[in-house]
Amino acid sequence: MASPILGPVIALVLWSLVMWLWLYATRIPAMQRAKIALDPSLTAADLASRLPPNVRWKADNYNHLMEQPTIFYAAALAAAVAGVGGDPINVGLAWGYVGLRVVHSLVQATANIIMLRFAIFMIASIVLAVLAVRTAMVVF
């Protein structure tokens, strides 16, 4: 039987794929409307400057999902390997982190209210830190 902490791991992987789809579902039509050619000499900054902010927000969020969540994946997988992936507190922390990251994505991809995003990010970071420390206490 799989460790319960793997549920939130896969949930965040799937959410990242949802954001990837949303990114391209908005970016490709926006590029077509702006008549942006697929020019290899364009830098990411050049491309971003030609797209509306609400289109860029999805890409920004997708990039964010490739950053801090890597720590979550490592901590959750370490908890599973160390035998504490079924601990109800760890599983709750993992689901809490995933839920907060989904909310963060929705805020960033729609309204992009920076202070709200920051608050959600900070709470998620604290939840992640607690999960990492709890796992480290078992590993070390």
Question: 134: domain range?
Answer: 6-139
CA dihedral for 110, 115, 118, 122, sign (positive or negative): negative
Q: What is the CATH number of the domain that holds 90?
A: 1.20.120.550
Number of independent structural domains in the chain: 1
Give residue 15's identity as a one-letter amino acid code: W
Per-residue pLDDT of the chain (140 residues; tens, 9 = 90+): 899 999 999 999 999 999 999 999 999 999 999 999 888 998 989 989 999 999 999 999 999 999 999 999 999 999 999 999 999 999 999 999 999 999 999 999 999 999 999 999 999 999 999 999 999 999 99
CB of 12 within 8 A of CB of 101?
A: yes
**Of 65, 124, 119, the residue nearest 95 (C-alpha):** 124
Which residue is it, tokens 């801090």? 68
Distances (CA, A) of 108 to 35, 40, 63, 67: 25, 28, 12, 15
Domain presence at residue 97: yes
**pTM of the entire predicted model:** 0.96
